[in-house]
Amino acid sequence: SISHHYRAIARLGTFRTAPSCPRRCLRAVRGGGATRQRARRAATCWRRVGNAFMMKSSAGAWRALTACTLTLCVVVFALYTAAPDPRAGAAPRREATAEWRVDANAAAQCPGVQRVAGAALAQWAAGDAPAVLELGGEGTRNARLRAMTRRERLLRERGQAEVKLASSDTYSSQSVTMPLAEYVGNWLSPQPLSLRAIDALYLFDSSLAGVAETWRAVYNAYEMHAAATRAARDLHREPALSFGIAPAGSGVQWHVHGAAFGEALHGRKRWLLYPPEAKPAFEPYNTTAQWLAHEGDKLPRALKEAPLDCTVGPGELIYVPNMWWHATLNVDDCVFVSAFP
């Protein structure tokens, strides 16, 4: 015990002199005329106490000191792990429902973007301008995949399957691997505006089908639209698929790549678009929501207009031309597939 430790020092003849040591040291320092002998006595006193702790104390005293140190370490660790992450801004909200979260007040709209529907779908070809393909009855072609990716069923059948998450900055500079159930069960929905893009992880991966049989079935169930198949054939290559799941309020900051077709299986996704020559002003490590809140007024020099703003949902397919600047924002909890011809 601690008292045993003190008694051990007292038996060595040092404890009773220790209380006067601070007073002696202070007198030696404050009194300009303090003698060298008094200063030497104060130093000797402290040296005796140090020797008692470091060399002459009993084994019980060392055990007491070790126990105190370990106890302090445990307390500090407990306080550290119990403290909330300041970057998150709020505790994770775990979904209790069997379905994906949907904002009933949000409407799908695409002002200024060409819409293709009905018989025109068969003649439409990918070009240099964005377009939204209204699939109508064709939207049922992926009914099987929609059933497979309902929240309750997806977590029941594939909740323990590993997924690779990427940060939502322009460069997707961070990646983390974890079980799907852990990702969905702990995400923030809607994602708070204060969350940094580097910490805002989302699932959008083209490699799942190649590494796990459980995900290969999801990719194989997707029926690509004929327009995407024609675009890939014209380029003499096989289209690549990426499967994604992300919470409401998440999205990827401005970036560019080759032409792409995006289809939402559940929920709605908002697309912001600029042509290749009109690079928007943006901070790569902010989220799309932060850009809309704080940077959207910084319009690009080449185009003094707001971006094309298009929200699409199930039954619609958006085409993003080659090298068009785009950013995404999930209006709802969103399950989606993108095809890259």
- Quote the pLDDT of residue 14: 40
Helix (H/G/I), strand (E/B), else coil: 186: helix
Q: What percent of the chain has pLDDT over 70?
A: 65
- Quote the pLDDT of residue 225: 87
Which has more pLDDT, 279 or 34? 279
CA-CA distance, 2 to 62, in Å (whole number)? 10
- Quote the pLDDT of residue 94: 44
What's the predicted TM-score (pTM) here? 0.69
Which has more pLDDT, 234 or 15? 234
Cα 118 from chain centroid (whole Å): 40
Separation in Å, CA 144 to CA 79, 222, 228, 338:
48, 8, 20, 17
Residue 129 φ/ψ, nearest 5 degrees: -125, 145
Which has more pLDDT, 43 or 327? 327
- Quote the pLDDT of residue 85: 45
Which of 130-134, 206-210, 241-245 bottoms out in mean pLDDT, i.e. has the lowest? 206-210
Rg, C-alpha atoms of the chain? 32
- Quote the pLDDT of residue 198: 93
- Quote the pLDDT of residue 187: 92
Helix (H/G/I), strand (E/B), else coil: 227: helix
- Is pLDDT of 328 > 60? yes
- Is pLDDT of 6 > 60? no
CA-CA distance, 52 to 29, in Å (whole number)? 25
Nearest to 129 by CA among 317, 288, 259, 229: 259
Q: Using pLDDT thresholds of 50, 70 and 90, give the confidence band for residue 1.
A: very low
- Quote the pLDDT of residue 59: 56
> In whole numbers, what is the pLDDT of the chain averaged over residues?
77
- Quote the pLDDT of residue 37: 54
Which of 5-14, 74-83, 92-101, 145-154 bottoms out in mean pLDDT, i.e. has the lowest? 5-14
Which of 9-23, 139-153, 207-221, 246-260 bottoms out in mean pLDDT, i.e. has the lowest? 9-23
Cα torsion 63, 67, 70, 72 to 10°: value is -140
Q: Using pLDDT thresholds of 50, 70 and 90, give the confidence band for residue 244.
A: very high
Q: Using pLDDT thresholds of 50, 70 and 90, give the confidence band for residue 12.
A: very low
- Quote the pLDDT of residue 102: 80
Q: What percent of the chain has pLDDT over 90?
A: 45
